Amino acid sequence: MADKKKRRRADPSSDDEEDYGGGGRKPLPFKKRLKADSVILSELKDLTDSFRSSSTSEKTLTLSDLDLSSTCREVCDLDLSSVQDTIERLILRVAQSILSGNGFAFDVPARGNANQLYVPELDRIVLKDKTSLRPYSNASTVRKTTITARILQLVHQLCIKSIHVTKRDLFYTDVKLFQDQTQSDAVLDDVACMLGCTRSSLNVIAAEKGVVVGRLIFSDNGDMIDCTKMGMGGKAIPPNIDRVGDMQSDALFILLVEKDAAYIRLAEDRFYNRFPCIIVTAKGQPDVATRLFLRKMKMELKLPVLALVDSDPYGLKILSVYGCGSKNMSYDSANLTTPDIKWLGIRPSDLDKYKIPEQCRLPMTEQDIKTGKDLLEEDFVKKNPGWVEELTLMVKTKQKAEIQALSSFGFQYLSEVYLPLKLQQKDWL
Amino acid sequence: MADKKKRRRADPSSDDEEDYGGGGRKPLPFKKRLKADSVILSELKDLTDSFRSSSTSEKTLTLSDLDLSSTCREVCDLDLSSVQDTIERLILRVAQSILSGNGFAFDVPARGNANQLYVPELDRIVLKDKTSLRPYSNASTVRKTTITARILQLVHQLCIKSIHVTKRDLFYTDVKLFQDQTQSDAVLDDVACMLGCTRSSLNVIAAEKGVVVGRLIFSDNGDMIDCTKMGMGGKAIPPNIDRVGDMQSDALFILLVEKDAAYIRLAEDRFYNRFPCIIVTAKGQPDVATRLFLRKMKMELKLPVLALVDSDPYGLKILSVYGCGSKNMSYDSANLTTPDIKWLGIRPSDLDKYKIPEQCRLPMTEQDIKTGKDLLEEDFVKKNPGWVEELTLMVKTKQKAEIQALSSFGFQYLSEVYLPLKLQQKDWL
């Protein structure tokens, strides 16, 4: 990465310009360190350019580059008619099997923990190639086989009608058979895996909760959306990524924000006009729609992604879901994950560096500390020495802090000092 | 209301055209009852026109019309400079009191249950005029008095800077004093009450989660938003109602939807193009931003509001929060509530009328039944005999159903049959 050489991890409190006042009336701490916006911008522009050229020359690694394509399984986006075709061919094979006296069964990829693999070169979790037979003529699998056939039929209908439904809709089409929604949900993921396509290719979507604002134009179901003209509320991220396209942007980076409150601050201040960027948030735990949208932006626009999360184990966990996926959806990690997300802040070392007042820091609970220690054992943390250092500091100091803690220096400290200084110092990991 | 006379509460299953099939392949139940869209539309148009003329001639009742303005308290929207003025005058009075030897105290409106009143003529909860003194020179109130002064100072800053912040931001500006967020939140409502203005006038906003789509154009922070061109995702409802304006619409009604999944179905099917309407949802429990937005639409566009909620006590409770407010915010009920919301569905009587299969109905829990019985004692239910009838039926049958239960007749049953038939039959209460 081109930014590695240029990075100066300057401590903002290490020189003589100390102006920390602690109150809203006194000058904002570290504000004097800020260079002119034009200086910060021109450096950022160089960075984005070098990022772009490196990401066009570097081919994204795939399972086959690593000789893993025969032992690992991955799905891809399929259009509706291909999904329909694949279902029809699958059912034809089943019918042939019945006619030739071999009975009715599906060969379903195993999705349990034992079949999961973290691949460091890809920096994400993938599914290994183990499958298990789901025969109709077996008391222990007859229900699941029936559910599988029913889900295949329902998805086939969706393909013909070309409409999207939620998992909840799917469940209610046959409550008698599915009994509870966890059963239809689980088989839905099985079916995506069996067909070798993403869950969104099946036209079954999750309710969206993410919003986006800033220097982005895209089409949503045929309507052109200009995200600089979405006021303070922003544009709701569409639940169906297959109807999103034509992305255009003059942004220099994507700012991924964990929480609502910080998003609102940046949207109202139109931060994206001072530092051209796209601001996106899932308002907490990342949903599938926001993850797909983030990846699509990063891939099509070739922009660096900087993440602003709380300084606690949960914030890092959210970062990891965007970055290398969740275990439940590992079969689709290639489409759901956004590689190379940078941890901008709030980082544990920021607490002292930016002199966050003691009363705005929170003591970590026993559970927090345990989660933090568990994260230190995760591959996606271990491969980044900077992250290990930060997380170790967090667990050692037993302190956490929310993004909102910066409000103790004034409501606009986040948008007027903290983020500009972070960008100026290229202070991300 | 003009629609009362025209209403025919025809039972869709009462004549011979029975075509209920129970499966996706057979004709959709009751679909044959549907008249041509043009017929339904022309009747709806008459209805909206008569609604408009009645709502322009009928003045909205206020506390003073009922001779309650001296015994009840209400707040109004104030612009930023008026809020600033009011704070300055309040602090001046406090200073005078100190200088004249009477000490430092705030006179704070009581907001407890004992000071709440449901006014049937207004159909909402209001606050009575009791206040309590909050003196600085008293060990039991000294902290709260200090917090009140601090919140006044922070809001004063917001007025000068003309920015919006969340309650969480406010809390973090002085964690040492506030200790936990419930304390700063409660005093914030006290302050709004003291100043006689709405909480949104203080520029302290709640995170938004609502979305809107359909025949509506409005301005959000200066940007013109056309909600027919928001794809499937829709437009996120802005958190700051004071920057929303210029509403224009050719809709015939507003469709208020409780849940995401139904919203997505209607947005994808562009239901608002078949039956011109504005579709809005808060995705569950109504937040302040969505409530303010709904009221603003109803008042400025003079459109009837039809509500589509789950058939359970919780759905009716959500309807009541939109309609007559929550106790916590009763001081601002005039701005937060939308009068005369019609209960379109899913109503307890719909379960049999539309032959919702037994397995798609859910048994009510003990808690559900208790909530249902409690609701039967609430004034806002009792004043509407139709609602009492429906709720009594729900408690008697001990059955509830989600909007999604309609998916058992096919994914698009909601948008293609159920809602059009409801509109055709003017089947709302």
Span B90-118, average pLDDT: 91
Q: Is residue A280 scored above 90 in pLDDT?
A: yes
Question: What's the pLDDT at B23?
Answer: 42
pLDDT digits (tens, 9 = 90+) for B354-374: 998 888 888 999 999 999 999
pLDDT digits (tens, 9 = 90+) for B39-61: 888 888 888 888 778 766 556 77
Give me the catalytic one of A172, A331, A354, A413.
Answer: A172
Start-end ranges of CATH 3.40.1360.10 in chain A?
Answer: 3-19+29-59+206-424
DSSP letters spanning A344-398: EE--HHHHHHTT--GGGSEEPPHHHHHHHHHHHTSHHHHT-HHHHHHHHHHHHHT
- Mean pLDDT, rounded, for A245-269: 92
Give the residue from A154, A169, A280 with the most B CB atoms within 10 Å of its CB, the best one to mutate: A169
3-state secondary structure of A65: coil
pLDDT band with cut points at 50, 70 and 90 for residue A7: very low
Distance CA A121, CA B64 (A): 72
Where is the binding site for Mg(2+), in residues of B? 258, 310
CATH code of domain B72-205: 1.10.10.10
Give the integer Cα–Cα distance in Å for B263 and B234.
Answer: 10
**Residue B385: exposure state from Cβ atoms within 10 A (0-12, 13-18, ≥19):** exposed
Is residue A128 helix, strand or coil?
strand
Answer whether B233 touches A (CB < 8 Å): yes
DSSP A222: T
Subunit contact A173:B411, Cβ cutoff 8 A? yes
| A160 interfaces chain B, CB cutoff of 8 Å | no
d(CA B201, CA B286): 19
CA-based nearest distance A154→chain B, Å? 10
Q: Which of B256, B232, B269, B228 is nearest to B413 (CA)?
A: B269
Tell me the pLDDT band of B19, cut-offs 50, 70 and 90: very low
Angle, vertex CA B320, rays to CA B413 and CA B290, nearest 5: 75
Range scoring the smallest mean pLDDT among A88-102, A221-235, B85-99, B115-129: B115-129
What pairs with residue B363 in β-bridges? B399
Residue A168 sits at the chain B interface (C-beta within 8 Å)? yes
Minimal Cα–Cα distance from B404 to chain A, Å? 6
- Nearest 10 degrees: Cα torsion A393, A396, A399, A400: 50
Nearest in space to A299 (alpha carbons), one of A338, A253, A256: A338
Residue B229: CB atoms within 10 A of its CB come to 15
CATH 3.40.1360.10 residue ranges of chain B are 3-62+207-424
CB A411 to CB B237 under 8 A?
no
pLDDT for B393 equals 96
**CATH of segment(s) B3-62+207-424:** 3.40.1360.10
* Type of residue at A342: K
Check CB contact of B217 with chain A, cutoff 8 Å. no
Q: How far is B411 from chain A (nearest CA, A)?
A: 7
Residue A382 vs residue B59, higher pLDDT = A382
Confidence of residue A9 (pLDDT cuts 50, 70, 90): very low
Cα–Cα distance between B278 and B275 in angstroms, integer? 10
Mean pLDDT within A20-49: 76
Structure token digits, residue B360: 């798609």
CA atoms of B408 and B355, how far apart (whole Å): 10
Residues of A in contact with B230 (CB under 8 A): 220, 223, 225, 235-236
Q: Minimum mean pLDDT among A100-104, A371-375, A382-386, B110-114: which range?
A: B110-114
Residue of B nearest to A410 (CA): B173
User: Which residues from chain A sit within 8 angstroms of residue B234, using beta carbons?
Assistant: 236
Q: Do A357 and B232 touch (CB under 8 A)?
A: no
CA distance A209 to chain B (A): 7
- The pLDDT score that the predictor gives to residue A240 is 83
Sign of CA dihedral A84, A89, A93, A99: positive
Asked whether the beta carbons of A293 and A244 are under 8 A apart, the reply is yes
* Chain B residues with CB-CB distance to A410 below 8 A: 173
- Tokens 């799917």 belong to which residue? A170
CB-CB under 8 Å, B164 with A404: no
Tell me the pLDDT of chain B averaged across its residues.
87
Query: Within the 310-369 window of chain B, which residues sit less than 8 Å (CB to CB) from chain A?
Result: 357, 359-360
- The pLDDT of residue B4: 41
**Is A384 within 8 Å of chain B by CB?**
no
Alpha-carbon radius of gyration of chain A = 24
Q: Give the separation between CA A260 and CA A199, rounded to whole angstroms.
A: 27
B166 φ, ψ (degrees, to nearest 5): -90, 165
Contact between A204 and A170 under an 8 Å Cβ cutoff? The reply is yes
CATH 1.10.10.10 domain range(s) in chain B: 72-205
Q: List, as residue ranges, the binding site of A for Mg(2+).
A: 258, 310
Q: What is the pLDDT of residue B9?
A: 44
Which of B163, B181, B411 to mutate against chain A (most A CBs within 10 Å)?
B411
Cα separation, A54 vs A339, in Å, equals 14
Q: Please state, in angstroms and rounded to a whole number, the distance separating the CA atoms of residues A87 and A155.
A: 9
Give yes or no for residue B6 having a pLDDT over 70.
Answer: no
Average pLDDT, integer, range B215-225: 93
Paired residues of A105 in beta bridges: A135
Residues within 8 A of B (CB atoms), A 18-77 only: 24
Architecture (CATH level 2) of domain A3-19+29-59+206-424: 3-Layer(aba) Sandwich (3.40)
Q: Are A211 and A220 in contact (CB under 8 A)?
A: no
Enumerate the residues of chain B whose CB falls inside 8 A of the CB of residue A170: 407
Cβ–Cβ contact B241 with A under 8 A: no
- Residues of A with Cβ-Cβ distance to B158 under 8 angstroms: 411
CA–CA separation, A226 and A249 (whole Å): 10
- The answer to whether B235 contacts A239, with C-beta atoms less than 8 Å apart, is no
Please report the pLDDT score of residue A25 as a whole number.
52
Alpha-carbon torsion angle A54, A60, A66, A71, nearest 10 = 170
Closest Cβ–Cβ partner in B176, B211, B240 for A236: B211
Task: Say whether pLDDT at B324 is over 50.
Answer: yes
B354 flagged as catalytic: no
In this prediction, residue B59 carries a pLDDT of 64
> Considering only CA atoms, which of B305, B429, B324, B340 is closest in space to residue B375?
B324
- For B169, residues 6+ apart whose C-beta sits below 8 A from its C-beta are A261, A265, A404, A407, A411
Looking at residue B89, what is its pLDDT? 96
Which position has the token pair 């802040």?
A: A345
Q: What is the CA radius of gyration of chain B?
A: 24
CB contact under 8 A, A233 and B230: no
Q: Which of B313, B303, B201, B189 is nearest to B252 (CA)?
A: B303
Please answer whether residues B174 and B148 qualify as being in contact, where contact means their C-beta atoms are separated by less than 8 angstroms: no
Query: Catalytic one among B20, B172, B263, B322?
Result: B172
B158 Ramachandran zone, left/alpha/beta (phi>0; psi -120 to 50): alpha
Check residue A63 and give its pLDDT.
82
Interval A38-82: pLDDT, tens: 988 888 888 888 888 876 655 677 888 888 888 888 888 899 999
Structural contact between residues A292 and A241, judged by C-beta atoms closer than 8 angstroms: yes
